[in-house]
Structure 1
Amino acid sequence: MSPKISKKLLILIILVPTIASAGIITFFIVINLQNESLESKIQSWMTNAQIPSLGACIVINDSVTWAQGFGDQPDLNTVYMIGSITKSFTATAILQLYENGSLDLNDNIDDYLPFNVRHPDYPGWDVTIEMVLTHTAGLPGNLFWSLEYYLDNKTITWINENLEWDIIIWEDRPTLEQFLNESLNPIGEYYNDHNWQSRPGSTFLYSNAGYQLLGYLVEEITNQSIMDYVQENIFDPLNMNRSSYYYEDFLSSNAIPYEWNNSLIELPLYNINVTGAGAIRSTIPDMAKYLTMFMNNGKCKGIQILKPESIGLMHSNHEPLTGTSTEGFDIEGYGYGWFLYGGGYKGHGGATPGFSSNMFFKNSSGHTVGVFVTFNRGSALLLDESLLNIYIPEINKILLEESELLFQQALSS
């Protein structure tokens, strides 16, 4: 990778969160149009942060208490990329396979793959599925040639021409199996010493590469793409009919992506090949259904996606973390595809170029309250410290405080 790319690339292509018919659910969004205070706060925040469009919802127990779209594309069916929140979908797929006996979380991931996943400095140490789920497998944030693999050539050409980068264009893009194998094998075509970090099981290192590997694991076990698996086993059962991995599925309703370089820069619509870690796009109603499922022990409107025991595993603190924060939350640890925050919250943030999203919820006194928010200004290509350090924590605080207020009202009613 050229020095020019490594200098300008912020952290990674997927932003690390800085640290009704029978059998189909119908989900009704209740919009509280009377909440002028919350809406005015959001609109003021959008003006200050120069956010073109935003959607958000607050869920209490199994109902959407408030949902609203704002800005240039205010329709709740506007489709946004959700970035690393995709990891929770991949983790859900892994837990479903665990439930049906297709895998064991403590198994060596090599047992299921056509190539070995071995740290060259620690060849005697297994890399287990759980290690990959908890970002402790020794894998990096991204593999060395990730930009070239993740982005299609049309998008790379646009970046090179408009941002004056010099990302290499691959005429013959490898398959996911080839890319992972040739990146993790020391004699592989795409191998670099960067591609292995700490001893497996020893250190938390947030890894898109790891969740890309988990997505490939799902494909190997099920003999179908991770996209098809998630469609059939998560999107379809929850009636998330405006969620996908491809912008072409919603040509008339995609949010336009923007990044900041002294002013807003409009990016072209794009797909991203990091399907296990950050490629999903969705809407407020769809993500409300998804969040409700986790808030209610794996069930939404009678549809059971995961067993309560699996939800418990996903939200257990498998990797305690202290002294770190992200997007306004103190981090206490990591589960499977979810961060554990202070105050009893579980959640995950995410971004791809031009998009930022966050979801979080908590259980208290037998009730649950959750928030999902997404908007079309990102910081995954160009460093945007004001967005990362000021504006994202601010919008999370606004929505958290409002959700707490509504939650207390629900508890007292």
Structure 2
Amino acid sequence: NNDEVTVRRLLSHTAGLTDGLGYSGYAPGTPVQSIEQSLTKASDADAGISGAVHVGTKPGSAFTYSGGGYTLLQLVVEEVSGQPFAVFMQEAVFQPLGMTHSSYVWDENSPYPLAEFYNNDGTKYKPHHYTAVAATSLYTSLSDLALFFQAHLKGPQNEPIGRGVLTPATLKRMREAHGQEMGVAIWGLGPVLYATTADNDFIIGHDGKSTPPINTAVRLNPATGDGIIVLETGSPTMATRLASEWVFWKTGQVDTFLFPMLLPGLIKAIGIGWLVIIVSVITYFTWKRRRIASQRST
């Protein structure tokens, strides 16, 4: 039932959309789809993903990651505000927070340098362009992300949490658990919930991953103000691994994103362990049978 698809469920990946979309974007000079075309079937979908965005399970019944859900939210923002998403974000978020080095559309004439983009083999590539800018195309700096972090906290001059962009109550609701896997809370209304904190809150943040390899990761403990930001290209997982190690250091917990990375290695280790046990048992019983046979022959 499409009527059960809500903004809350789109934010928490519980709207029943089963696209699983990540976006690789378009190389320079390649035509870019309209947002309506992308929602019908994204031509820049990551390998192995169909690109079609539709309701595949009952909304509200389960967590299912959907990049297409955030593209749909992008369209909602544009239709409600009457502005392109990038313009709305500039006026509603970046300017009020003083994020002067942030944009969803890169200006080739910008006076600020853009970091180099690297493939896995260390060769450089030109940055891609995206239709799904809300999900994939934020250009920013460490200093601007730090300002965004600080807006989740009370300021040194008693500036309010949210800095007027969002209310403290809204930010708190965003940290409530909405998406779960195996009974574990992993997603709020936008933020990922990485690990629980001593005050029964969550370390929050988000990760970004794209092909060619871009990996970004941010983590914040709203109770203490501690956080970490890692932005890198050339590796699909380095930023996430570093940020996840920070979470483990701070909480002793393996966070939401690190566990799936470790799982294949754990399964392999368990498999090798069982193989060693099986070979040892077979060897033991083979030796025992031969010993019994030898004793009988004498």
Aligned to 1:337: 190
- 1:267 is displaced (CA, Å) by 1.3
Aligned to 1:74: none
**Could you tell me whether the CA contact under 8 Å between 2:174 and 2:188 is conserved in 1?**
yes
SS at structure 1 position matched to 2:119: strand
SS at structure 1 position matched to 2:107: helix
Distance 1:192 1:346, change over 3 A: closer
- 1:398 is displaced (CA, Å) by 5.5
Distance 1:129 1:402, change over 3 A: closer
Counterpart code for 1:256:
E
Aligned to 1:90: none
Distance 1:358 1:296, change over 3 A: farther
State how 1:334-413 maps to structure 2 within 5 Å.
334-344=187-197, 345-352=203-210, 353-364=212-223, 367-379=224-236, 388=237, 391-392=238-239, 394-396=241-243, 399-400=246-247
Aligned to 2:130: 272
Q: Name the CA distance, whole Å, in 2 between partners of 1:300 and 1:245.
A: 30
Query: How many correspondences in the alignment?
Result: 233
Q: Name the CA distance, whole Å, in 2 between partners of 1:196 and 1:300.
A: 44
Aligned to 1:254: 114
Instruction: Note the alpha carbon deviations across 1:74-93, whole angstroms, 9 max, x for none.
Output: xxxxxxxxxxxxxxxxxxxx
State how 1:7-406 maps to structure 2 within 5 Å.
122=1, 126-139=4-17, 140-142=19-21, 150-152=25-27, 154=29, 174-180=33-39, 182-183=40-41, 195-249=54-108, 250=110, 253-260=113-120, 263-296=121-154, 301=159, 303-322=163-182, 332-344=185-197, 345-352=203-210, 353-364=212-223, 367-379=224-236, 388=237, 391-392=238-239, 394-396=241-243, 399-400=246-247
Q: Name the CA distance, whole Å, in 2 between partners of 1:202 and 1:300.
A: 41
Q: Name the CA distance, whole Å, in 2 between partners of 1:322 and 1:368.
A: 29
- 1:368 is displaced (CA, Å) by 2.5
CA RMSD of aligned residues (A): 3.1
SS at structure 1 position matched to 2:97: coil
- 1:246 is displaced (CA, Å) by 2.6
Q: Name the CA distance, whole Å, in 2 between partners of 1:397 and 1:193.
A: 31
Counterpart code for 1:237:
P
Instruction: Note the alpha carbon deviations across 1:213-239, whole angstroms, 9 max, x for none.
Output: 001100110100110010001110111
Q: Name the CA distance, whole Å, in 2 between partners of 1:277 and 1:300.
A: 32
SS at structure 1 position matched to 2:225: strand
- 1:392 is displaced (CA, Å) by 4.0
Q: Name the CA distance, whole Å, in 1 between partners of 2:192 and 2:127.
A: 29
Q: Name the CA distance, whole Å, in 2 between partners of 1:340 and 1:282.
A: 22
**Could you tell me whether the CA contact under 8 Å between 2:104 and 2:134 is conserved in 1?**
no
Instruction: Mark the runs of 5 or more structure 2 residues left unpaired by the alignment.
Output: 43-49, 198-202, 252-298
**Could you tell me whether the CA contact under 8 Å between 1:135 and 1:206 is conserved in 2?**
yes
Distance 1:126 1:300, change over 3 A: farther
Instruction: Note the alpha carbon deviations across 1:92-137, whole angstroms, 9 max, x for none.
Output: xxxxxxxxxxxxxxxxxxxxxxxxxxxxxx46x5212221111112
- 1:399 is displaced (CA, Å) by 4.5
Instruction: Mark the runs of 5 or more structure 1 residues left unpaired by the alignment.
Output: 1-121, 157-169, 185-190, 324-330, 380-387, 405-413
Q: Name the CA distance, whole Å, in 1 between partners of 2:151 and 2:103.
A: 18
Q: Name the CA distance, whole Å, in 1 between partners of 2:83 and 2:137.
A: 17
Instruction: Note the alpha carbon deviations across 1:8-30, whole angstroms, 9 max, x for none.
Output: xxxxxxxxxxxxxxxxxxxxxxx
Q: Name the CA distance, whole Å, in 2 between partners of 1:273 and 1:133.
A: 19
Aligned to 1:160: none
Counterpart code for 2:226:
V
- 1:281 is displaced (CA, Å) by 1.1
Alignment TM-score, normalising by the size of structure 1: 0.50
SS at structure 1 position matched to 2:170: helix
Q: Name the CA distance, whole Å, in 1 between partners of 2:66 and 2:6.
A: 15
Q: Name the CA distance, whole Å, in 1 between partners of 2:151 and 2:176.
A: 17
Report the structure, 1 or 2, having the larger strand content: 1
SS at structure 1 position matched to 2:134: coil
Q: Name the CA distance, whole Å, in 2 between partners of 1:350 and 1:141.
A: 14
- 1:355 is displaced (CA, Å) by 2.1
Q: What percent identity do the matched residue pairs reach?
A: 24
Counterpart code for 1:225:
P
**Could you tell me whether the CA contact under 8 Å between 2:102 and 2:141 is conserved in 1?**
yes
